[in-house]
Amino acid sequence: MFLAIIFGFFIANLIKPAQELSFGERRRLAQLPKFTLENIMSGKYMNDFDKYTTDQFIGREPFRAAKNLVDRQVFLKLDTNGLFREGEDVFSIEYPLREDRVAGFCKKMNGLFDKYFEGMNVYYSVVPDKNYFLPDNGAHLLMDYRRMETLVAEGLNNNMQYIDVFGTLTLDSYYNTDGHWRQEKLKPVVDRLYEGLGVPLVFDLESYEQKSYEPFYGAYYGQSAGLAPPDNIVWLENESTRNAVVTSLSFPNRDDLVVYNTDGLGGMDTYDLYLYGAQPLVIVENPQSDSDRELILVRDSYGSSLAPLLLEGYAKVTLVDLRYITQELLQNHITFENQDVLLMFSTTIINNSDNLR
C-alpha cells in the first residue's frame, strides 16, 4: 500500500497536465521552470521546481480542504491560515493595529493635499473591515478601530472633513466569502456621503434594476478551502450607469468600456465586474446628470462598487488608486480645479499603508 501510494502519486503527477490558473485560490499557479545550466547552478531551478510541484500536485484542492477540516475539527484551531468562520461568514485576521502604518497613511494623504488639493473641498472616510462587526468577547484578535479613527483624525490635515460611515454598515453589508461590501447594501453609505459632501439628493434604490450572478467565489473562499458556500454578486443598473462614459489609464485605446464588466463574470476575480477592478485611474462621466459637480475619489477596491452609485450626484467621478499610480503622475491626467475630493480607504489598507505610493 505504501509503494502504491508513493509511486501512484508520482506517476499521476507525471501524467497530469499543468494548470495555469487556480480559480479557488484566485492566482496563477507555478509552471515547470526552464532547465538551464544557469538556473541549476544558482539554485533557482530547484526552488522554482519545488513551487511547481506544490502548486500542480494532483488533488491539491481536496488536500487543502482536508487540512482545513483537520485543523478545525481535530486540532480545534480557531483559524486556519489567518482565516476563520463565524456563522456563514469567513473572516481574515487583521491584527494588531500598526500605528506607524497609520501615521504613514496620514503622511501620504497630507502630501497629496499639499500638492494638489489646497483650497478644495476635501473629505475623508474610513471603511471598517467586516471584523469590526464581530463581538469583542476575546474569541478572536480584533484591532482597535476607534483608536485608528482617532489616529487618522489627529494625523490628517485639519482642512479635511470626516464623513463617518461606520454606523451605516452591518455585517450583512459584506459578502460571506469576501472582505468587500455588497453594492446593493450601500444605500445608507451613499446617503451619508451625499449628506457630508453637500449633495442635495437621497439615494433611490428603487430606481435601479438589480442583476445578479452566482456562484461568486470571494477571496476568502479559495484561501480557506471552502469554509463557507459561495455568494451571489449583485450590481445595480439604471440609465446613468448604462449611458456612462468610462475611460481608463489601463485601456487608453478603448472606447467601449462600461461601468459593469459582465464579461469577467465567472473569471479569476468576479469582483472586477465593477469598473474593471483594480485600476490606477478611471474616469466615469454621466452625460445625463443634472449637476455639473465633479468628484475625485481617492480609494481602494471598495470604491469600485461605490462609484457607480454616485453618478446621480456628479457629472464626473475620477477614481484614483494609489496602489498602482504615483502621486507625481496624477498631474499628467487630472486638472485639479473645483472638484470635491473624497479620500476613502478601508481599515485594512490604512493598517498596511506601505502598499500606497
Q: What is the pLDDT of residues 160-186, one digit of tens each?
A: 999 999 999 999 999 999 999 999 999
Q: Same domain for 103 and 45?
A: no
Q: Same domain for 19 and 139?
A: no
Domain that holds residue 294: 90-355
Whether 70 maps to a domain, the answer reads no
Domain count, the chain: 2
Structural contact between residues 87 and 229, judged by C-beta atoms closer than 8 angstroms: no
What's the 3-state SS for 162-177?
ECCCHHHCCHHHECCC
Whether 83 maps to a domain, the answer reads no
Q: Same domain for 175 and 54?
A: no
Whether 331 maps to a domain, the answer reads yes
| C-beta neighbour count of 75 within 10 angstroms | 8
Q: Same domain for 49 and 99?
A: no
Indicate the helix (H) or strand (E) that contains 213: strand 209-216
Q: Same domain for 51 and 117?
A: no
pTM: 0.87
- On the 0-12 / 13-18 / 19+ scale of CB atoms within 10 A, 247 is middle
Whether 265 maps to a domain, the answer reads yes
Q: Same domain for 46 and 192?
A: no
Whether 319 maps to a domain, the answer reads yes
β-strand partners of 174? 181
Q: Same domain for 127 and 7?
A: no
Q: Same domain for 103 and 26?
A: no
In this prediction, the residues of the chain whose per-residue pLDDT falls under 50 are none
Q: Same domain for 250 and 101?
A: yes
Q: Same domain for 97 and 25?
A: no
Whether 187 maps to a domain, the answer reads yes
Whether 67 maps to a domain, the answer reads no
Whether 75 maps to a domain, the answer reads no
Phi, psi of 87 (to 5 degrees): 65, -125
Q: Same domain for 31 and 118?
A: no
Among 13, 41, 58, give the residue marking a domain's end: 58
Q: What share of the chain is helix, strand, coil (3-state, %, to 5)?
A: 40, 20, 40
As given in the structure block, the three cell numbers for residue 201 are 439628493
Rounded to whole angstroms, what are the CA distances from 20 to 28, 30, 47, 55, 252?
A: 6, 8, 18, 10, 28
CA 153 to chain centre: 23
Q: Same domain for 136 and 223?
A: yes
